[in-house]
Structure 1
Amino acid sequence: MPLAHILPLDGTAVLFIILSFIILISILNHKQTNKKFPPGPRPLPLVGNVFILDRKRPFKTLMELKEKYGSVFSIQLGLRKMVVLTGYETVKEALVLKADQFAERPDIPIFKKITKGNGIIFGHGDSWKTIRKFTLTVLRNLGMGKQNIEEKIIKESEHLVKQFEAKNGHPFLTTIPINAAASNIIVSLIMGERLEYEDENFIKLLVLINESFRLAGGPYIQLYNMFPMLHHLPGPHHKVLEHQNILKDFFRKIFIQHREVLDENDKRSYIDAFMSKMDEEKNDPYSHFHEMNLLCSVTNLFVAGTETSSSTLCWALFILIKHPNIQMRIHEEIDRVIGGSTPRAQHRQLMPFTDAVIHEIQRFADILPMDLPHETTSDVILRGYCIPKGTYVIPLLRSVHRDTNHWEKPDQFYPQHFLDEQGKFVKREAFMPFSAGRRICIGESLARMELFLFFTSLVQTFSFHAPEGVNGEDIDLSPVGGLTLVPPNIQVRALVRSRNT
């Protein structure tokens, strides 16, 4: 006879039984953890260590915990145990020396809802490997890292400079024009053409991306990822999903346009190349080249290609305002090396100070302090600890970029980190703004070229200042929390300089 017939249960009793079961599982999970599993703070039943985290800047809590537990430690959020890797040597050992064992991406509820495991960033297994390899090949064929993409960036720099000139020295927010410029480079690869800054749909997408990044890194989405059963309740996760649907609808319309004129002998964009591959494998039921993978890959490229480069450039302008002596030295180097000519990638090796400043901006701004999470593909031993297959792993890039063993002044903006005694540029191994290993940013070479050319074009043309009445050196550059760390919403004055000829 069913238990319910013997002992009727109301809703409260059922809820109590479910919660008791979850708590029991949590306790057993804690007791059964391998003794060689990395140490960490003792979790509470059901919620884990959520209450000890700085909800707006969780990386700060993790930086504090590494001082107590060492370079490899664990935390628990909800019922999920996570391993945190800190310091350059540890992160390198995991992501580079044991790359295959740390190459997966865990299921994160909000992103699983968006991608269903497809695409480049949150893809899994063979699908991810196939699409990533294909994407790298196509982007290189389209010119990523080569002279023709350099010409696109130079042309886009001219558009961006005109946007700044149109402000006539009045204070303005730099976010949208810089977003648009950075986005247009990846858009030209994805679609084969750029979009106009006045295009309302384009600007709308950029605004939605900015808001999505802010919401996705916020406390509520963190809670949602711990307890995805919250999906049916009101909350900002619905706004994030709505934004993504708008972005997907935009690209679906683009797909229709490309399909109508697709020429197998003239593939001018990533979309063309992917559609051609879809046609080639249309009779293969196991093919990874299907519309959902195309949609997710294109949106991944669009969002990632917009957000990180543009945020870094925004940081750059604010840092120059706060450090006018550094801005002056860059002006001097640009005037000496480039003069009134067009900045080009080949100038980089002749401009060690400017190059050092750009690298230091990336290190100091630390756009993605917790990296995107990884997952182990097999049981692995790291620093004497056993990390089981399927473990959620956080490579704490903040700890790499603040590692006192590798940086003389880790908490200060100090371009000399990348200069030797003779003032020549030097590479630093503890520099991972694009992550490392199998999941390293697919557009690293493109982003490096963008940053140099956009930055030098802007600083060649303008001197940057705070609004009148504000002392630039007193500006608080505390980042705004989100999925990435973006600079505060500060207005900038761009005053045209007289160019050398």
Structure 2
Amino acid sequence: MLLPILGFLFVVIILYIYYNYRSGLPGPWNLPIIGYLHKIDPNLPNITFTKLAQKYGPVYSIKLGSMDTVVISDPKILKKVLMKDEALARPPLFLFNILFGNKGIVTSPTNIWKEQRKFIHNYLRTSGATKLSSKKITFEEQARTYAEEFIDHILGQGDRVTLYPFEPIVHYVGSISSTLIFGTIFTRDDETLLKIENNFKKMMLLAPIGGPLNYLPFLRFLPKFKQTVASLTKVVEETRQMVFEVSQTHTTLKLDENSPSSLTEAFWLQRAKFGDDESYDPEQLRYLLYHVFGASLETSVNTIMWFILHMAQYQQVQEKVRHELVTVLQGKAPTVQDLTKLPYTQATIAEVFRIRTIIPLGLPHYTLQDVQVDDIKIRKGTTIMSLLWAIHMDPKVWKEPEEFRPERFLNDEGNFFSTESFLPFQAGKRMCVGKDMGNMIIFLFVATVLQKLKIESCDSAPVDMSYVCGFTLMSKPQKITFVRI
């Protein structure tokens, strides 16, 4: 009787060891079924994964549920892995798929993604929203116009105004994106943009990458998680419908193939060319607008909010940025061409990107075949997590990484420079297609605002620099004071 029991235990031990070490990479011990999920801090998953990287190295393996996951915080290796065609897919994560669906640009199959990325890039280039575009002036004028309207909104209330900046920033920054994507101009009393952005924030909190529901979908039958799934499904459907209604209500389709007035119109022009191709069917448009507008809104609004908070907290940095803007621009409106003449401003924006990485765990990838990079083999069917937080907070690269220090991005001559360890828009072939657009919006907005407004904390109290970590890294609501210069 004892022999069969010992045999059974021996088999269990062997399977357990195989279960933990079959990747061939270092990593923590994982439990059957749940893997390492029980030890991930739900409020600070970025810190949990970073501590594991410090212990097991910049490439380690972990089980999230039953899903093999490789976590990478070495920028060189990450770039190589994400350039592989075998690693272009998205993983079958439960909440992730509810959040993004299987169309659009974020999670679409590789063949659709390639066509849609090319389409979006071409449209952004022709509309002036890329750094190489010949029509930058038009897009710059739109961005500056909304920044000026934000300033007028503030100063219309007095020379010294204290308020919660989130709502007006959503309206005026969101209007830059909506003009480009829908051809839309929202009135100041229209709350559509605020409703959409608030919904996106709810979704980011309900669907964190490290959340157990992503990896253990059977949990959705338990009361606690059942409510989460119901709430996420409802807000996703509501937001997708709101975005689509904006495109239908506000977009005027002239169908001028030489000069489409919006991304929406450009899509219909492509549909006229491609017919019933799945890359240009109406359902693809619904998801595409939802993805592109959501990504633009979340990235730009969050980054500008973090920029404002850091300027309120670090007055000396703010004064240096303003001095540079005033000295170089001499009262002129900023343009993207001025960016190279404004190294300290550029460095300050980069430091905000670094110290408050908007997507700290990156957008996950998934291997459809084995991937070999140097001496690292990642098996087929593995989720790849880009641990951008650890890359941006690595003390070996960034001295005292918790300190806000724009000078890290300046060389000995005072010129802006970046490093391979700076990846605010991730890396690889699926790198954010709206990178240039996002950078342009953020620079033009903050450079315009800082010339006319001084930013201070409310009642000289310390700014709350803590964050809420969901899918994205969000600041906490707080009042900020704006003073006329």
Whole-Å separation in 1 of the counterparts to 2:245 and 2:335: 35
> 1:245: which partner in 2?
237
Contact 1:176 1:206 in 2 (8 A): no
> 1:489: which partner in 2?
477
Whole-Å separation in 2 of the counterparts to 1:36 and 1:230: 26
> 2:270: which partner in 1?
277
Whole-Å separation in 2 of the counterparts to 1:223 and 1:36: 21
Counterpart of 1:263 (choices 255, 261, 271) is 255
> 1:433: which partner in 2?
424
Whole-Å separation in 2 of the counterparts to 1:355 and 1:116: 35
> 2:152: which partner in 1?
162
Counterpart of 1:63 (choices 46, 50, 73) is 50
Unpaired stretches in structure 1, ≥5 consecutive residues:
1-23
**Shift of the alpha carbon at 1:155?**
1.0
Q: Does 1:149 align with 2:139?
A: yes
> 1:416: which partner in 2?
407
TM-score (normalised: structure 2): 0.89
Report the secondary structure of 1:494's partner residue.
Answer: strand
Q: Which runs of 4+ in 1 moved over 6 A?
A: 24-27
> 1:226: which partner in 2?
215
Whole-Å separation in 2 of the counterparts to 1:413 and 1:396: 20
Counterpart of 2:114 (choices 116, 129, 132) is 129
Whole-Å separation in 2 of the counterparts to 1:257 and 1:467: 39
Residues 1:133 and 1:34: Cα distance change in structure 2 (over 3 Å)? farther
Report the secondary structure of 1:247's partner residue.
Answer: helix
Contact 2:182 2:263 in 1 (8 A): yes
Whole-Å separation in 2 of the counterparts to 1:259 and 1:311: 26
**Shift of the alpha carbon at 1:115?**
4.1
Residues 1:378 and 1:263: Cα distance change in structure 2 (over 3 Å)? same
Counterpart of 1:329 (choices 315, 320, 330) is 320
Whole-Å separation in 2 of the counterparts to 1:351 and 1:261: 39
Contact 2:184 2:250 in 1 (8 A): no
Counterpart of 1:117 (choices 84, 97, 102) is 102
State the one-letter code of the partner of 1:60: I
Deviates more, 1:232-241 or 1:333-342: 232-241
Whole-Å separation in 1 of the counterparts to 2:339 and 2:72: 33
**Shift of the alpha carbon at 1:377?**
3.3
**Shift of the alpha carbon at 1:90?**
2.5
Whole-Å separation in 2 of the counterparts to 1:207 and 1:116: 20
Contact 2:73 2:386 in 1 (8 A): yes
**Percent of aligned pairs sharing the same letter:** 27
Whole-Å separation in 2 of the counterparts to 1:240 and 1:269: 29
Q: Does 1:199 align with 2:190?
A: yes
Whole-Å separation in 2 of the counterparts to 1:152 and 1:248: 25
Contact 1:153 1:453 in 2 (8 A): yes
Residues 1:218 and 1:67: Cα distance change in structure 2 (over 3 Å)? closer
Contact 2:25 2:61 in 1 (8 A): yes
Contact 1:66 1:72 in 2 (8 A): yes
TM-score (normalised: structure 1): 0.86
Q: Does 1:187 align with 2:167?
A: no
Contact 1:88 1:403 in 2 (8 A): no
Report the secondary structure of 1:438's partner residue.
Answer: coil
Counterpart of 1:453 (choices 444, 451, 472) is 444
Q: Does 1:391 align with 2:382?
A: yes
**Shift of the alpha carbon at 1:272?**
1.4
**Shift of the alpha carbon at 1:63?**
1.1
Matched length: 465
> 1:16: which partner in 2?
none
**Shift of the alpha carbon at 1:391?**
1.0
When the two chains are superposed, the root-mean-square deviation of aligned CA atoms in Å is 2.4
CA displacement, residues 299-331 of structure 1 (integer Å, 9 cap, x when unaligned): 101110001111111111111121111111122
State the one-letter code of the partner of 2:213: Y
State the one-letter code of the partner of 1:193: T
Unpaired stretches in structure 2, ≥5 consecutive residues:
1-10, 131-135
Contact 2:184 2:251 in 1 (8 A): no
Residues 1:28 and 1:198: Cα distance change in structure 2 (over 3 Å)? farther
Report the secondary structure of 1:268's partner residue.
Answer: coil
State the one-letter code of the partner of 2:155: E
Report the secondary structure of 1:437's partner residue.
Answer: coil
Report the secondary structure of 1:288's partner residue.
Answer: helix
Residues 1:376 and 1:29: Cα distance change in structure 2 (over 3 Å)? farther
